[in-house]
Structure 1
Amino acid sequence: MRLNSIKPGAGATKAARRVGRGIGSGLGKTAGRGHKGQKSRAGGFHKVGFEGGQMPMQRRLPKRGFVSLTRARIAEVRLSELQALPVEDVDMLVLQQAGVVPADALAAKVILSGVLSRKVNLRGVGATVGAKAAIEAAGGSVQVAE
């Protein structure tokens, strides 16, 4: 076998549709575009969603829901990461200085992941129900600012 002799199998490829090439092709005269109208013309383009001047569907339907732009800036902190911190009192500043949360994080929340075996006092940092129970079981406390 040579690279210059390779070709697709029989029936694998189809000839391109040649429109506007006479009556015998089945696509002569109007070339499959029908008669008159914007879509039959050369350059008969309209943008996606355009409905001929009628109020388009995406503007007729009511807008619902909300996407928070700050959601991505709420960091998650594992219990195992709290275990590794050298201090007992933990707040956002301590977490940022230790590199546990990014510097641009607006808030942080402790999640139940890993083991915490020492006392940790959280201030101004949220915690899930399971994480709060684990922190209190280890002798620590959770104080969330309102």
Structure 2
Amino acid sequence: MNLEKLPKIKTKKAKRIGRGAGSGKGKTAGRGTKGQKARGKVSITHPHFEGGQRPLFKRLPYRRGKGNSKISKKPLAVNLDVINLLPKGITVNIDSLIKYQIVDANDAKKFGVKILGDGNISSSYIFEVKTSKSAAKKIEKSGGKVVNQFSITKEPVDQNGENKKEAKSK
């Protein structure tokens, strides 16, 4: 029997950790040198632990609002004199303002767009975005139309889209 003709062993023996320098995992047993993690059981499970030092999130001040989130931004403001740059008779909505590079696409979709009444409008347009009262007056005066998609009703509405007060009275 030759040693080279023996079948190969598929599974290796597991290394015995901490059993002498010759084992390959002796002395510190793969734990590095010193520190709490090198000694005994480790009870640090959360990611904010900084070795007993005051954690960063405790050093920072509290911030206002629900979930310490940023204050939501207002919609992007576009004045009427900028609208004159658009082709005549176009429908002005978020997509058309993005197409003609008047507003940034990401910000417009995230925060919305509002038309303000600064300046004059020369031709008639159909507006499908939020408008200020002064802008709406100037638009209608020039022969345009404001289709407000964002009108908010204060009356409660049920699942069918009907007014709850009217549904109860029926």
**Any gaps of 5 or more consecutive residues in structure 1?**
1-44, 51-57
Superposed, which structure 2 residues align to 1:1-146 within 5 Å? Answer: 69-71=71-73, 74-88=75-89, 89-104=91-106, 105-106=108-109, 107-123=112-128, 125-146=129-150
**Larger-gyration structure (1/2):** 2
Q: Higher strand fraction: Structure 1 or Structure 2?
A: 1
**Any gaps of 5 or more consecutive residues in structure 2?**
1-52, 151-170
Give the aligned length.
Answer: 90
In 2: Cα distance, 1:112 partner to 1:142 partner: 13
Give the SS at the match of 1:110: strand
In 1: Cα distance, 2:136 partner to 2:104 partner: 22
Q: Deviations over 1:32-64 (max 9, x none)?
A: xxxxxxxxxxxxx989xx9xxxxxxx77xxx86
Q: CA RMSD in A?
A: 2.9
In 2: Cα distance, 1:81 partner to 1:114 partner: 8
TM-score (norm 1): 0.51
Give the SS at the match of 2:84: helix
Give the SS at the match of 2:101: coil
8 Å CA contact 1:109, 1:127 repeated in 2: yes
Q: Deviations over 1:104-126 (max 9, x none)?
A: 11211000111112111101x10
User: Percent identity among equivalent residues?
Assistant: 24
In 1: Cα distance, 2:146 partner to 2:103 partner: 18
8 Å CA contact 2:125, 2:139 repeated in 1: yes
In 1: Cα distance, 2:72 partner to 2:54 partner: 36
Higher relative contact order (CA 8 A, sep 6+): 1
In 1: Cα distance, 2:145 partner to 2:70 partner: 30
